[in-house]
């Protein structure tokens, strides 16, 4: 089927297969072709690129990705969508659909075995699990070129705000840089969500240091406590000396440290 994202085509497919968006999986189907084309234009994809798509839905974004990319590998958790995807994407032989929870996928292995040097992730992420998925991708250490995700607008603004610090923003900064590329109205979805969305892009330049996760989890256990008090359990009687060696003020709170501060601390684990 051509132009799956047209409202009439989306409604035809949903009605034919007696489907409704699943609240359980946080589904909202994009029904605006121009918006989807703009999303694809924002990504650095060509026929030498393998795209990993999380949550293809009925294939609206997948279709446009398949026209531009060399290969598209989709991970879909909702097995109800198998028949509709078989029909909607039948003409695209460069698309593989795997019915599996993305959070159980060995992403590093998938990327290394896909046969492409350049691999990008494109995803319309369910709001309730956005942070978990982005963290999962980064921590996987998969050799990715970039990540392009549609998320809740408020989340996108936080993640790209230089004055906002969280374990996730620090993880992102440790591997590359993030930008907010475009805002998307809630009115281009079916059903219409309560909030607007935005596209964020993360370009990866460094491999993730897995020790950083341990440091960040401990550091942000209680944000109101000082970095010294939060790390005492991890470094014991050496905490003060280690913070001094890293040129970190022991009275600072976790959000006042830079990503380089945290990377210095990983050397002492």
Q: Which residues pair with 52 in a beta bridge?
A: 73, 121
Q: Does residue 100 come out as left (phi exceeding 0), alpha (psi in the -120 to 50 range) or beta?
A: beta
Whole-number pLDDT of residue 21: 80
Please, what is the Cα angle at 12 between 7 and 16, to 5 degrees?
Answer: 150
Query: If you count DSSP H runs as helices and E runs as strands, how many of each does the chain have, helices first?
Result: 12, 9
pTM of the model: 0.93
Q: 211-266 belongs to which homologous superfamily?
A: rRNA adenine dimethylase, C-terminal domain (1.10.8.100)
Cite the residue boundaries of each domain of the chain with CATH code 1.10.8.100: 211-266
Please, what is the Cα angle at 263 between 257 and 267, to 5 degrees?
Answer: 125
Query: Which residues have CB under 8 Å from 258's CB, separation 6+?
Result: none
Whole-number pLDDT of residue 91: 95
**Three-state secondary structure call for residue 260:** helix
Low-confidence ranges of the chain (pLDDT < 50): none
Query: Which residues have CB under 8 Å from 43's CB, separation 6+?
Result: 51, 120, 122, 146, 148, 201
**Three-state secondary structure call for residue 149:** strand
Whole-number pLDDT of residue 220: 95
Query: Which residues have CB under 8 Å from 225's CB, separation 6+?
Result: 253, 254
Cite the residue boundaries of each domain of the chain with CATH code 3.40.50.150: 7-204
Q: 7-204 belongs to which homologous superfamily?
A: Vaccinia Virus protein VP39 (3.40.50.150)
């Amino acid at each position: 089927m051509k132009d799956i994202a047209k409202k009439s085509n989306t409604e035809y497919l949903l009605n034919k297969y007696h489907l409704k968006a699943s609240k359980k999986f946080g589904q909202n189907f994009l029904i605006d072709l121009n918006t989807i084309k703009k999303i694809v234009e924002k990504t650095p994809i060509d026929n030498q690129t393998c795209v990993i798509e999380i949550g293809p839905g009925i294939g609206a974004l997948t279709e446009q990705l398949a026209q531009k990319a060399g290969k598209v590998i989709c991970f879909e958790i909702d097995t109800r969508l198998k028949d509709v995807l078989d029909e909607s994407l039948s003409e695209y032989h460069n698309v593989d659909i795997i019915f599996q929870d993305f959070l159980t996928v060995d992403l590093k292995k998938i990327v290394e075995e896909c046969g492409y040097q350049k691999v990008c992730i494109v995803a319309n992420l369910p709001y309730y699990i956005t942070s978990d998925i982005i963290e999962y991708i980064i921590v996987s250490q998969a050799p990715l070129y970039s990540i392009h995700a549609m998320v809740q607008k408020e989340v996108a603004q936080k993640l790209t705000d230089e004055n906002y610090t969280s374990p996730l923003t620090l993880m992102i900064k440790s591997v590359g840089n993030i930008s907010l590329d475009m805002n998307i109205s809630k009115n281009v979805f079916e059903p219409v969500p309560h909030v607007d969305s935005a596209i964020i892009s993360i370009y990866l330049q460094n491999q993730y240091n897995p020790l950083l996760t341990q440091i960040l989890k401990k550091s942000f256990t209680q944000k109101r406590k000082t970095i010294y008090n939060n790390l005492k359990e991890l470094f014991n009687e050496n905490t003060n000396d280690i913070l001094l060696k890293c040129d970190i003020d022991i009275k600072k709170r976790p959000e006042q440290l830079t990503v380089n501060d945290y990377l210095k601390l990983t050397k002492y684990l």
